[in-house]
Amino acid sequence: MESQRNILVIALLLVSFLIWQQWQTDNAPQPETAQQSTQTSTGDDSFIPESDQAGGEVPADAPVTASRQLVTITSDTLKLTIDTQGGDIVRAELLEHDDELNSDDKFVLLTNDANFVNVAQSGLIGRDGPDASADGRPLYHAEQKSYQLAEGENSLSVPLTFTNEAGVTFTKTFTLERDSHVVGVNYDINNQSDQPVQAQLYAQLKQSESKPGDDGGSMLMASAYRGPAYSTSETRYSKYSFSDVREAHLNQTTAGGWIGMLQHYFVSAWIAPENGENQFYTRFLNNQGQGIIGFKAPVTTVAPGTEQNLSAKLWLGPKLQDEMAEVAPNLDLTVDYGWLWFIAQPLFKLLQFLQSFAVNWGLAIILTTFVVRGIMYPLTKAQYTSMAKMRMLQPKLVALRERYGDDRQKMSQGMMELYKKEKVNPLGGCLPILIQMPIFISLYWVLMESVELRHAPFMLWIDDLSVRDPYFVLPILMGASMYIIQKMSPTTITDPMQQKVMQFMPIIFTFFFLWFPAGLTLYWLVSNVVTITQQWYIFRQLEKKGLHGKAAS
């Protein structure tokens, strides 16, 4: 197999991958706007689910209390804004992550803006649940408007209290820990009334389906998934897109599990209680264009004169696989490497391991390239040896064509006998290409999904490996390296059209790579440099044996 034709195979596979990728984006169901919708949502801006317990009716239009306040809670990693009406988290800033490279603003994961809503809600429903009251959601009381994790302290707990007319006190406590992206949400039900209290914990994430500036990616860059997902005892990880939420309500019962809202590099996820059966659900608020995914824990009864706690955990942060795996089973699967995850996972582990020594992620990519190409060297050697043998057989193949003419069956039989006699595998040159393309695509998703590479600098002008080279230096160098490989590889192609196509391949590839992440282009450039070195060495060894010279003659 000719080296130039191998390059053409790579191009066709790459273009096919990009076209298939864009087809998925273009054929995804389009968001339904509020003007197009004719269905009335099941609730207002403070939608809460119906209780599993009879008699716990949820009001359709809960009034909003005028005296509601916003409380801020700040740790070393998170800055949360809590609405005292219901105690929802309406804003979350990630203090360790800039919004843009070198920006003074921090990345905002949760927000309740007019153009985009993404909030984490929780409450108590059921017969005596304060969030199911006809008077609307509870108005909690906070001792102060701002809380800060103090130096030397490892955790910060902020209680919000509400007492109903029967004298039952509900305390909703948010707990943040140092160096953690987990928010503990605990309900303490203190029943000093003379009647038992029945309540049911729920937690949900609500997000607008349409996001300003979210165009779903381009022809050359895939967009990361944004939308709901969940994990149960039977399903380790499953996406449940906004279109799925519109079409059918999720209804899954499981012990433990989690529900989440995913986006590029970051995730918010409620981890349900491990004890008892939790019910997962979804809803779509058509008049607001918002999707909801949540869970309901089992109904709890608190006897008179007693106290009981209900709790859940909320992950608000980047997709850090090791940390998420410790918080909840399968939460690390939100780092979605696609169908080639079995290649991408080891590649990321290798990158992570090499980065621990190289410090720089760009150097880790270069070292990873050396490791991958080193492992593939036996296949590369077999590829070039096969190329040399195939060129050596060209005169005999021409003789077969002259002998059998248009008789394709006899021609095929003659070629197979010739390959068998000469011990030549006609597909030997294709195998390294077939292996390299999945590695290329897997590394593409590693660079797209791994938050560790977000805003990760390399050197000189490359200050973010997760985005394109701002000056297009790496793509141009990559195209030049492809040109060198092409010139180093002798060819027997005589068709003028094929020759012109092959001459333009470096230019076409350079154009493709202009928009690829700099880290991916760096990998391909270094891989080409290694290919040039290996090709020079292998052909030199073949020349010493006389094989390459005979083949080229």
Average pLDDT value for residue range 411-429: 72
CA 416, distance to chain mean position in Å, is 46
Domains observed in the chain: 66-336 (2.70.98.90), 345-545 (no CATH)
**What tokens were used for 484?**
């060198």
* In the block, residue with structure tokens 């590829």: 383
- Report whether pLDDT(354) > 60: yes
Tokens at 33, concatenated? 């706007």
Q: Which residue has the higher pLDDT, 429 or 466?
A: 466
Tell me what pLDDT residue 68 has.
80
Beta bridge partners of 148: 74
Tokens read off for 274: 């491990």
Instruction: Give CA–CA dist 435/379, Å, rounded.
Output: 9
Using an 8 Å Cβ cutoff, are 4 and 493 in contact?
yes
User: Which has more pLDDT, 16 or 97?
Assistant: 97
CA angle 445, 267, 219 (to 5 degrees): 35
Closest CA to 293 of 367, 202, 179: 202
What's the pLDDT at 276? 83
| Rounded average pLDDT over 328-343 | 90
Q: How confident is the model at residue 404 (pLDDT cuts 50, 70, 90)?
A: confident
30 Cβ partners below 8 Å, 6+ apart?
Answer: none
The dihedral region occupied by 455, where left means phi > 0, alpha psi between -120 and 50, and beta the remainder, is left
CA distances (Å), origin 526, targets 92, 285, 316, 478? 40, 50, 37, 8
Tell me how far the alpha carbon of residue 509 is from its chain's centroid: 26
The CA-based dihedral angle spanning residues 338, 342, 343, 345, taken in that order and rounded to the nearest 10 degrees: 80
CB under 8 Å to 152, separation ≥6 — which residues?
Answer: none
Amino acid found at 351: L
Six-digit token string for 242: 């906004």
- CA distance readout (Å), 9 to 166, 430, 433, 459, 545: 75, 9, 8, 33, 29
pLDDT for 174 beyond 80 = yes
Under the banding of pLDDT at 50, 70 and 90, the label for residue 38 is very low
**pLDDT-derived band at 325, boundaries 50, 70, 90:** very high
Residue 492 has pLDDT above 60, yes or no: no
Of 313, 327, 318, the closest CA to residue 278 belongs to: 313
The pLDDT of residue 447: 79
| pLDDT value of residue 431 | 62
Radius of gyration of the chain (CA): 30
